[in-house]
Structure 1
Amino acid sequence: MRGLAGKAILVTGSSTGIGYAMAERLVAEGAKVLIHGRDRGEVDAAVARLGPATAGATGDLAEPETAQAIVDATLAAFGRIDGLVNNAGIYPRGILGETTAAFFDHMFAINTRAPLLCAEAAIRAFRAWKSPGAIVTVGSINAYCGLSNLTVYSMSKGALMTMTRNLANTLGPERIRANQLNVGWTWTANEDATQQREGQPPGWQNHVPLRHAPTGRIMQPEEIAAHTAFWLSDDSAPVSGQIYEAEQFPVIGRG
């Protein structure tokens, strides 16, 4: 164990995909986890699979009040909150020249505003308990540029890097840490469905060009979960304000 035993952690968007893998890893390392999602059936199923160290809450992060509600649910379930993983996010495609205000606002509401509101709610709880806390925000390699059909998504993730550094700079004296994982291409059921809709054949994830994945495959959710557990744990303290590239290749200076 690495300093996670007994800690209560909220993971947004954790009923499926990468978030579920994070919850599974945290439970395996002794933490208690609040499973969050929009679909009650998916949340209940995740809680049933992961067992008594978990509890569930539903809520749409596009609604501002959800952030406080799920932090309150964590406190109600476990009596405390020691960590927050801002994992939930959306990545609909867009076309340059056709971006609408509604598309932009929805993307930023979930990918950028919600992580800030969740962080603020968690910070209030950390302060109330006068104890250190850890925030890990899931960003994306796309934050540095991104593809032409992911312009608004990339912008939403770029803003999170500034948020993470700002939180760390502000909260350091209170021993509240904030770090970010800029995650590279990772397999999930949703990503699989997206790629197949865009013309990729079943099993595409095992035949990715080495240019995009030097190991010949894209990353798996459990691999991202391992990095998340480290940044939440006491093993990574007192480091804060870091943007950690969870990717297979160097982001800067790549030939």
Structure 2
Amino acid sequence: MDVTLSGKILLVTGSTQGVGEKVARLAIASGAAGVLITGRSAERGEALASELGTDACPVEFIAADLADPAAPELIAASAVSAFGRIDCLVNSAGLTDRASLLDGTPALWERLFAVNARAPFFLMQHAVADMISRRAPGSIVNILSVNAHCGAPDLSIYSASKGALSTLTRNVAHAHLPDRIRCNGINMGWATTPGEHKMQGETLGKGAGWVEEAAAGMPLKRLLTDDEVAQLTIFLLSDQSGLMTGTLIDMEQAVLGAPPRRVAN
């Protein structure tokens, strides 16, 4: 099956590293006509846009912090200004700060919900408004987390924010079926993203060997990769995913509702 985004204009958040960057790279290789990338680091973003952009697929960068309520409108307006439209939106940016029920703070709640739920909501609002104004179909993919189902005790607020975006994914899919706008989500399992390397290796003090140690305890003896998430994202954005909408895919080494499996050493 030939998965293509031929002629599509993409807006990808969190796209200066990790899953978002891999989505941008793969979109270009899949025939996209233009990509707007965004992140907090102007230096990284401008360098990446210069590296990735081609005559066939220009890449534009806009620096923005999704904790800022004004960021979604700025980002969406930049995409429309640069390329004339938004055909596909990927909400990949997210914060994974730890906090349990007992040590969570109002400030952390506000920060996580601002980036993980509020910003995607308003980015979807602006993207869908553009699609409807042109009477054009569109596709949205939200990068979620298996923690949206429940989450570890120290991911209480993070899990709640991803749970909110999970519900929004289905709500948007249902609301805009008549507009031919599809919206799907990927519940990522434990993955070797740059952010997770920093969290596990530095913040939690597990050092450089944390990946091997974690992989040893997984059923398939490895962790998910951001390349795999990007490949599924491109498929869901593409016409090849057909009528799929409101779908939340668990990309994890477990089956929801099944009893835990014991992993042999």
- The CA distance in 1 between the partners of 2:151 and 2:112, in whole Å, is 15
- The CA distance in 2 between the partners of 1:117 and 1:237, in whole Å, is 25
- The CA distance in 2 between the partners of 1:193 and 1:210, in whole Å, is 20
- The CA distance in 2 between the partners of 1:79 and 1:69, in whole Å, is 14
- The CA distance in 1 between the partners of 2:42 and 2:154, in whole Å, is 31
Identity value in percent: 39
1:238 paired residue number: 243
Deviation, structure 1 residue 17: 1.2
Out of 48, 51, 59, the position equivalent to 2:50 is: 48
- Structure 1 SS opposite 2:177: helix
Query: Measured at CA, do residues 172 and 218 of structure 1 come closer, stay the same or move farther in structure 2, by a change above 3 Å?
Result: same
Out of 212, 216, 221, the position equivalent to 2:221 is: 216
> Normalising by the residue count of structure 2, what TM-score does the alignment of the two structures yield?
0.92
The 5 Å alignment of 1:147-158 reads: 147-158=152-163
Query: Measured at CA, do residues 97 and 181 of structure 1 come closer, stay the same or move farther in structure 2, by a change above 3 Å?
Result: same
- Structure 1 SS opposite 2:214: coil
1:177 paired residue number: 182
Where in structure 1 do 4 or more consecutive aligned residues deviate above 2 Å? 206-211
For structure 2, the residue ranges without an aligned partner over 5 or more in a row are: 261-265
1:86 paired residue number: 91
- Structure 2 SS opposite 1:208: helix
2:208 paired residue number: 202
1:165 paired residue number: 170
For structure 1, the residue ranges without an aligned partner over 5 or more in a row are: none
Query: Measured at CA, do residues 206 and 115 of structure 1 come closer, stay the same or move farther in structure 2, by a change above 3 Å?
Result: same
- The CA distance in 2 between the partners of 1:29 and 1:167, in whole Å, is 26
2:263 paired residue number: none
What is the alpha-carbon root mean square deviation over aligned residues? Answer: 1.4
Query: Measured at CA, do residues 203 and 50 of structure 1 come closer, stay the same or move farther in structure 2, by a change above 3 Å?
Result: farther
Q: Is the 8 A contact 1:126 1:133 kept in 2?
A: yes
1:130 paired residue number: 135
- Structure 2 SS opposite 1:139: strand
1:74 paired residue number: 79
Q: Is the 8 A contact 1:207 1:216 kept in 2?
A: no
- Structure 2 SS opposite 1:174: coil
Deviation, structure 1 residue 242: 0.7
- The CA distance in 2 between the partners of 1:35 and 1:166, in whole Å, is 25
